[in-house]
């Protein structure tokens, strides 16, 4: 069975986010005074073949731990839909 997977990789709380800070510093010059707490992460989409939804989630979790995320500084959230 084929599933569409979406993985969000984001920095752990307390880890610096230079890209987000750079965006935030650019905002006043562009006239955006009401935007704050900008955080930039990665969104990875792929297709995965698995027997059922729990199996797909388990494989995605393993994939995140082994390749996609660095758990020392990043957290990940996985969602799969058939």
- CB contact at 8 A, 44 and 68: yes
> Going residue by residue from 33 to 72, which x/- string records binding to a copy of itself, judged by CB under 8 A?
-xxxxxxxxxxxxxxxxx--------x---x--xxx----
Sequence-distant (≥ 6) Cβ neighbours of residue 3 within 8 angstroms: 47, 48, 49, 50, 53, 56, 80, 81, 82
Q: How far is the CB of 51 from a copy of itself (least distance, A)?
A: 10
Q: What distance, in Å, lies between the first and last C-alpha atoms of the chain?
A: 8
Q: Please say which residue, 15 or 35, places its beta carbon nearer to a copy of itself.
A: 35
Report the residue number, 2 or 72, with the smaller CB distance to a copy of itself.
2
> Which of 44, 35, 39 lies closest to 64, judged by CA?
44
CB of 72 to a copy of itself, least distance (A): 19
Contacts with a copy of itself, residue ranges (CB under 8 A): 8, 10, 20, 23, 26-27, 30, 32, 34-50, 59, 63, 66-68
């Amino acid at each position: 069975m084929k599933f569409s997977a979406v993985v969000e990789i984001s920095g752990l709380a307390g880890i610096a986010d230079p890209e987000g800070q750079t965006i935030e510093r650019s905002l006043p010059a562009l006239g955006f005074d009401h935007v704050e707490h900008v955080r930039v992460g990665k969104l990875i989409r792929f297709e995965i073949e698995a027997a059922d939804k729990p199996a797909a989630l388990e494989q995605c979790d393993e994939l995140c731990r082994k390749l996609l995320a660095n758990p020392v500084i990043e957290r990940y959230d996985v969602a799969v839909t058939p």
